Structure 1
Amino acid sequence: MKTTKIASPVVEQDLILVYVDEQPAFYARVEGFEPDRKPNWWQVKLLALQVPLQLVTWILRREQINGEPFTMGGTPVRIEKVRVPEEEPMTEPPAEKEAAPTEPAAPERTPEDAGAGKARILSLGDRSGQK
């Protein structure tokens, strides 16, 4: 079997998108690789990122792990490595001519105001409709 160099191979902890019938089906994180007993095949452990989370192990060849289409029970499947976009650096807002205050001044409270803003407790546990 001829081995070809893959530009950006899938490695542990990579995020992948699994296509089923050429439609995006689910995302998964690659948890690990173990050699299978068959030469040139790998047991690929995937954490399917769905609700509920599901840990699956697929037996695949290196080429299939890296994007070559294959079938499972006659259904076409393909794995695509997800490229996380680079985060754009934050730019500083232009400096204003007059510096604005960093925090608005808090209103002054008097002892007479202390009881005026008391919160009312609303119980969500008793929802029998009685008030």
Structure 2
Amino acid sequence: MATINDLVLVHIENKPAFFARINDINADVKRGWYQVELLVLGLPLQSIVWILEEGHLQGEEFTMGGAPVRLELISPKIKLSPPPAPESDSKGKIIPLKRKP
């Protein structure tokens, strides 16, 4: 479940739309709903508040104005693939960093 300070990718109409950080989550007056403050990570920075259920913070799809919307939690431990190994067929010149006496 996404919570305060988590990074989420917001999908609108089943397409990635923008990244946002969850700044705050407060109970709404309607039981089971929450006021979720999102900091939209774009230029200019923008703060929005959406009223969502707990399931929406767990990735369940919901609609806004008839458009399907979904929050995808971005893991802080993103694994990057290692860079490709350099090709061995090219012969480079070795330049010493220290002069020989």
Same fold, TM-score > 0.5, yes or no: yes
Q: CA deviation at 1:104?
A: 3.1
Look up the match of 1:81.
73
Deviations 1:2-26 (A, max 9, x none): xxxxxxx111100000000000000
Q: Tell me, in whole angstroms, the C-alpha distance in 2 between the residues paired with 1:51 and 1:60.
A: 25
Verify: 1:56 aligned to 2:48, yes or no. yes
- In the alignment, structure 1 residue 30 sits paired with structure 2 residue 37: no
TM-score, normalised to structure 1, is: 0.60
Q: Which has the higher strand share?
A: 2
- The answer for unaligned runs of 5 or more in structure 1 is 1-8, 89-100, 106-131
Q: Which has the higher contact order (CA 8 A, sep 6+)?
A: 2
SS in structure 1 opposite 2:24?
Answer: strand
User: RMSD of the TM alignment (CA)?
Assistant: 1.7
Report the number of matched residues.
84
Moved over 4 A (4+): none
TM-score, structure 2 as length reference: 0.76
Q: Structure 2 unaligned runs (5+)?
A: 82-95
**Bigger Rg, which one:** 1
The residue matched to 1:58 in structure 2 has which SS?
strand
Q: Which residue of structure 1 lines up, in the alignment, with residue 93 of structure 2? A: none
